Amino acid sequence: MALFERLRDLELVVEDVRTEQRSVEVSTEFTRVTTLVVLSGGGQEGRGEDVTYTAEDHEWFPSLEAPGASSLGAFSASLDGLALFAGEPAMAASRDYRRWAFESAALDLALRQAGISLGEAVEREYRPVRFVVSTRGDAFAWLAAAPELELKLDPEPEWDSAFMERLAATGRVRVLDLKAYYRGTVVDLEPDPALYRRVVELFPDVVIEDASLDGECGDVLSGQEKRLSFDAPIHSVDDVRALSIEPGWMNIKPSRFGTVERLLECIEYCDANGIRLYGGGQFELDVGRRQIQALASLFYPDGPNDVAPSEYNAGGPRAGLPQSPLPAPSAMGL
């Protein structure tokens, strides 16, 4: 039975819908804002987190009338007609992020009302979660504080061969994210065949994420397909099928898929086709972080999961931070 078919008919009673906002000042130029969707009914609460990045897009939030008794599948279908934004969001992907907040809250509530965990519902065992630390800061400082950390890094144009050789010599880099599919963000990286060549040659065992496959960059990556992974372009299994290559890896960010059904469909497709998985985060401020860790625990616990505890976003390198792997979760709900 397909994974979502195990969940579709879960009874769901929604008696109240409300939202809560979270924010943290990351710098003088950026305040991270997220919105929690809280669904309640039958003495239980289910929560989901909208990770839309543009703070102004959180100023308006859709009003959803509590539907009462239904099922998880019926509730999901009813969201197809919900206006998620007053106008066009700043980023098209935000529609999926907001839909996921409602979907994950509904799944969380349905499981709690049934008195079970997601693992019990899909008959899978939770396992400890290996995680990597994603940083654009000083990787060497992080390793000085905790030498056993594994890292996910974003190469930059100024990374020369000498610097990359030092990084490679640490033996702790697991994923390099080339961010070729980001547009209009502060992390955009223009595809550079010379940089790609250094990545391929100096990091022969590292997963290469979101690399451009066009032109000379594609030529450099020829023969490296089993090391390639994709993230930003993937919102459904159809996006995986549409890739011009068969990658060895996929970064699964649940919020990118919008619905629980699309997320589970993609996970099943990748498992069936030998595509290895790892989880990714979206700078969640609340329950969303725990939920992506739980999903990683069920479906891809051994991957280089970019789901480090939120403490890693709350300061620089220091002793005393949680170390990998994270304990397997045991609570009911999502």
- The CATH number assigned to the domain holding 245 equals 3.20.20.120
Q: Residues 100, 160: one domain?
A: no
The domain boundary residue, chosen from 77, 96, 122: 122
Whether the upstream peptide bond of residue 322 has omega within 30° of 0, thus cis, is no
Does 274 lie in the same domain as 203? yes
CA angle 208, 263, 312 (to 5 degrees): 55
pTM across the whole model: 0.95
Structural domain count of the chain = 2
Which has the minimum average pLDDT: 14-23, 61-70, 125-134, 179-188? 179-188
Q: Give alpha helix (H) positions in 36-127.
A: 72-78, 94-114, 118-122
- H or E segment and range at residue 21: strand 16-27
| 190 in a structural domain | yes
Which CATH number fits the domain that encloses residue 56? 3.30.390.10
Could you give the CA distance from residue 167 to residue 249 in angstroms, rounded to a whole number?
22
Rounded Cα distance between 308 and 129, Å, is 9
Label residue 185 by pLDDT band (50, 70, 90). low
Distance CA 137, CA 107 (A): 36
Residue 70 and residue 198 in one domain: no
pLDDT tens digits, one per residue of 84-97? 999 999 999 999 99
Of 103, 122, 141, the residue that ends a domain is 122
Residue 186 pLDDT: 62
Look at residue 321 and tell me if it is in a domain. Answer: no
Pairwise pLDDT comparison (232 vs 27), residue with the higher score:
232
pLDDT band at 188 (very low <50, low <70, confident <90, very high): low
pLDDT bucket at 11, cuts 50 / 70 / 90: very high
Q: Are residues 15 and 54 in the same domain?
A: yes
Residue 184 is predicted with a pLDDT of 64
Give the residue numbers spanning the domain of 266.
133-313
Give pLDDT tens digits for 238-291: 999 999 999 999 999 999 999 999 999 999 999 999 999 999 999 999 999 999
Whether 334 maps to a domain, the answer reads: no
172 and 62, same structural domain? no
Angle between helices 94-114 and 287-299 (to 10 degrees): 80
Which residue reads 């702790």 in tokens? 172
Per-residue confidence at 324, pLDDT binned at 50, 70, 90? very high
Domain end among 77, 97, 122: 122
Closest CA to 222 of 241, 208, 233, 239: 208
- Asked if residue 49 is part of any domain, the answer here is yes
Distance CA 249, CA 228 (A): 6
pLDDT value of position 325: 97
